[in-house]
A and B are shown apart, each in its own frame.
Chain A
Amino acid sequence: MSNEFYRLTVNGKEHDVRDAWTGESLMYVLRERLGLPGTKGACEQGECGSCTVLMDGEAICSCLVMAATAIDAQIVTVEGLTSDPTHTAPTDVQQAFIDAGGVQCGFCTPGFVVAVHHLLDRNPQPTELEIKEAVSGNICRCTGYGRIFAAIELARDQRNTQPKQPGH
Chain B
Amino acid sequence: MAQTTTTTSKRAERGTLGNSAVRPDGLAKVQGRFAFSSDAWADNMLWGATLRSPHPHARIISIDASAALAINGVATVITAADVPGQLTYGLIANDQPVFAKDVVRFAGEPIAAVAADHPETARRALDAIVVVYEVLPALLDAEQAINGSFAPIHPDGNVIRRQKVVRGDQDFVGEVVVEGTYEVGMQDQAFLGLEAALALPDDDGAGVELYVATQWLHEDQKQIAACLGLPLERVRLTLGGVGGAFGGREDISLQVHCCLLALATQRPIKMQYGREESFFGHIHRHPASMVMRHHADRDGTLRRVEVRAVFDGGAYASTSSAVLINAVTHMQGPYRCDIATVDGYAVRSNNPPCGAMRGFGVVQACFGHESQMDKLAAACGLSPVDIRLKNAMRTGDRLITGQIVDSVAPVERCIRETAAISMPPPLAQDADLLDIPGGSGLTAQRSNIRRGVGWGVSIKNLMYSEGFDDYATARCHLTDGVATLQFATAEVGQGFVVLAQQIARSVLGVDTVLLEPISTAIGSAGSTSASRQTWMSGGAVDGACRLVRERLFEHVAAAHQLDPLRLAIDGTDVVDTRGSLRVAVAEAAPGLVLDETFEHHHRATEELDEDGQGNCHVAFAFVAHRAVVDVDPDLGLVKVVQIATAQDVGRVLNPLAALGQVEGGIAQGLGLAVMEEIVLKDGVMRNPSFTDYLLPTSLDAPIVVATMIEEPEPQAPLGAKGIGEPPCISVTPAIVAAIRDATGKALTRVPVRAQDIVFGD
Contacts and interface: CB of A to CB of B under 8 A. Distances in A.
Touching chains A and B, CB distance < 8 Å: yes
Given A37-B32, A97-B30, A106 B25 contact: yes
Contacts of A143: 660, 663-664, 667
Interface stretch (B253-261, B490-498, B544-552): B490-498
B437 to A, nearest CB: 15
Interface stretch (B150-158, B231-239, B242-250): B242-250
Nearest to A96: B30
Interface string B29-45: 11111111011010000
A98 B32 CA distance: 13
A147 B30 contact: no
Interface stretch (B104-112, B397-405, B466-474, B693-701): B693-701
Given A98-B30, A141-B244, A107 B275 contact: no
Contacts of A107: 36, 191-193, 243-244, 493
Nearest to B20: A101
B418 interface: no
A145 B662 CA distance: 11
Contacts of B31: 38, 78-79, 82, 90, 94, 110
A138 to B, nearest CB: 7
A66 B494 CA distance: 35
The secondary-structure label for the interface of chain B is loop
A140 B192 contact: yes
Interface string A20-58: 010110001001000011111111110110100000000
Nearest to B492: A105
B500 to A, nearest CB: 16
Interface in A103-141: 103-110, 113, 129, 131-133, 135-141
Interface string B684-696: 0000011100011
Interface in B1-58: 20, 22-23, 25-27, 29-36, 38-39, 41
A66 to B, nearest CB: 13
Contacts of B27: 90, 94, 98
A142 interface: yes
A153 B698 CA distance: 14
Given A1-B120, A103-B30, A141-B191, A136 B697 contact: yes
Contact of A141 (B32, B192, B657): B192
A50 to B, nearest CB: 6
Given A78-B31, A90-B27, A142 B660 contact: yes
B432 interface: yes
Given A43-B689, A144-B667, A149-B698, A139 B39 contact: no
Given A105-B243, A109-B29, A138 B494 contact: no
A15 B323 CA distance: 51
B742 interface: no
B664 A104 contact: yes
Given A42-B193, A47-B690, A129 B664 contact: no
A62 interface: no
A146 interface: yes
Interface string A53-77: 0000000000000000000000001
A37 B1 CA distance: 12
B433 to A, nearest CB: 9
Contacts of B668: 141, 144
A144 B358 CA distance: 14
| Interface range on chain B (Cβ under 8 Å from partner) | 35 or more
Contacts of A147: 656, 659-660, 663
Contacts of A103: 23, 25-26, 29-30
A42 B657 CA distance: 24
Contacts of A101: 20, 656-657, 659-660
A97 B41 CA distance: 27
Contacts of B29: 103, 106, 109-110
A141 B698 contact: no
B381 interface: no
A113 to B, nearest CB: 6
B435 interface: yes
B389 interface: no
Contact of A136 (B33, B246, B657, B698): B698
B118 interface: yes
Nearest to B191: A141
Nearest to A148: B698
B730 interface: no
A106 B660 CA distance: 13
A38 B28 CA distance: 10
B190 interface: yes
A24 B120 CA distance: 9
Contacts of A108: 192
Nearest to A101: B656
The residue among B25, B192, B492, B667 with the most chain A CB atoms within 10 A of its own CB is B192
B275 A44 contact: yes
B121 interface: yes
A117 B39 CA distance: 24
A129 B432 contact: yes
Contacts of B36: 37, 40, 106-107
A105 B26 contact: no
B440 interface: yes
B230 interface: no
B368 interface: no
Contact of B30 (A77, A94, A138, A142): A94
Contacts of A37: 32, 35-36, 39, 41
B118 A135 contact: no
A133 B243 contact: no
B333 interface: no
A28 B704 CA distance: 37
Contact of A146 (B25, B193, B659): B659
A50 B36 CA distance: 13
B26 A142 contact: no
A138 B697 CA distance: 7
A21 to B, nearest CB: 5
A104 B493 contact: yes
A27 to B, nearest CB: 11
A98 B192 contact: no
A105 B192 contact: yes
B434 interface: yes
B541 interface: no
A113 B432 CA distance: 26
B212 to A, nearest CB: 15
B194 interface: yes
A148 B659 CA distance: 12
B192 A145 contact: no
Contacts of A133: 434, 440, 698-699
Contacts of B41: 37
Contact of A38 (B33, B192, B695): B33
A145 B657 contact: no
Given A98-B27, A103-B23, A136 B666 contact: no
A79 B29 CA distance: 11
Interface in B183-221: 190-194
Interface in B636-695: 656-657, 659-660, 663-668, 689-691, 695
A149 B663 CA distance: 12
A63 B667 CA distance: 26
Contact of B120 (A23, A82, A132, A144): A23
A120 B572 CA distance: 41
17 contacts: A40-B192, A40-B243, A41-B38, A42-B690, A101-B20, A101-B660, A105-B192, A107-B191, A113-B32, A131-B698, A132-B699, A133-B434, A133-B440, A141-B244, A142-B660, A142-B664, A147-B656
| 10 cross-chain pairs, A with B, having the tightest CB-CB distances, nearest first | A38-B32, A105-B493, A106-B29, A107-B243, A144-B667, A144-B663, A47-B690, A78-B32, A101-B656, A94-B30
Interface of A: 1, 21, 23-24, 28, 31, 36-45, 47-48, 50, 77-79, 82, 90, 94-95, 97-101, 103-110, 113, 129, 131-133, 135-149
Given A103-B26, A146-B659, 4 more contacts: A1-B118, A104-B664, A105-B193, A147-B660
